[in-house]
Chains A and B, each alone.
Chain A
Amino acid sequence: MTKFTPTRRGVLKTGVAAGAGLALPTIFTSSAHAVTNEPTGSSVTLGFNVPQTGPYADEGADELRAYELAVEHLNGGGDGGMLNTFSSKVLDGTGIMGKKVEYVTGDTQTKSDAARASAKSMIEKDGAIMITGGSSSGVAIAVQGLCQEAGVIFMAGLTHSNDTTGKDRKANGFRHFFNGYMSGAALAPVLKNLYGDDRKAYHLTADYTWGWTQQESIAAATEALGWETVNNVLTPLASTDFSSYIAPVLNSGADVLVLNHYGGNMVNSLTNAVQFGLREKEVNGKNFEIVVPLFSRLMARGAGENIKNIVGSTNWHWSLQDEGSKAFVKSFGEKYGFPPSQAAHTCYVQTLLYADAVTRAGSFAPCDVAAALEGFEFDGLGNGKTLYRAEDHQCFKDVLVVKGKENPQSEFDLLEVVEVTPAAQVTYPPNHPMFGGDEASLGECNNGA
Chain B
Amino acid sequence: MDAILLQILNGLDKGSAYALIALGLTLIFGTLGVVNFAHGALFMLGAFCAVTLQRVLSASYEVIDETKVDFLGNPLKVKTPYVEGWFGPEVGGAIIDWAVPLSILIAIPFMIAVGFIMERGLIKHFYKRPHADQILVTFGLAIVLQEVIKYFFGANPIQTPPPDALLGVVNIGAPLSLELAYPIWRLVYFFFAIAIIGGVFSFLQFTTFGMVVRAGMADRETVGLLGIDIDRRFTIMFGLAAAVAGLAGVMYGPINPPNYHMGMDFLVLSFVVVVVGGMGSLPGAVLAGFLLGILESFASTTWATTTIPGINQIIIYLVAIIVLLTRPRGLMGRKGVMED
Contacts and interface: CB of A to CB of B under 8 A. Distances in A.
Interface of A: 54-58, 231, 233-234, 236, 238, 240-241, 243-245, 247-248, 250-252, 264, 267-268, 271-272, 275-277, 280, 298-299, 301-306, 318-319, 329-330, 333-334, 338-339, 409-410, 412-413
A252 B305 CA distance: 15
Nearest to B294: A244
B32 to A, nearest CB: 29
Interface stretch (B108-116, B156-164, B282-290, B330-338): B156-164
Nearest to A306: B159
Interface string B144-167: 000000100011111101000000
Contacts of B154: 57-58
B169 interface: yes
Contacts of A276: 169, 181-183
Interface string B1-37: 0110011001101100000000000000000000000
Contact of B2 (A251, A268, A280, A329): A251
Contacts of A264: 156-157, 259, 261
Of A252, A277, A305, A413, most buried by chain B (CB within 10 Å of CB) is A277
Interface in B53-72: 68, 70-72
A236 B71 contact: no
Contacts of A243: 10, 13-14, 186, 297
Contact of A247 (B6, B159, B255, B305): B6
30 contacts: A54-B155, A57-B150, A58-B154, A231-B302, A233-B302, A233-B305, A236-B313, A238-B313, A240-B256, A240-B262, A241-B14, A243-B13, A243-B14, A243-B186, A244-B10, A244-B11, A244-B297, A267-B257, A271-B159, A276-B169, A276-B182, A277-B168, A280-B169, A298-B156, A302-B156, A305-B159, A306-B159, A318-B71, A329-B71, A409-B68
B97 interface: no
B3 A251 contact: yes
A267 B76 contact: no
Given A240-B265, A275-B186, A280-B168, A250 B6 contact: yes
A267 B3 CA distance: 24
B256 A333 contact: no
Contacts of B11: 244
A254 B298 CA distance: 20
B161 A305 contact: yes
Contact of A412 (B71, B159, B182): B71
B3 A247 contact: yes
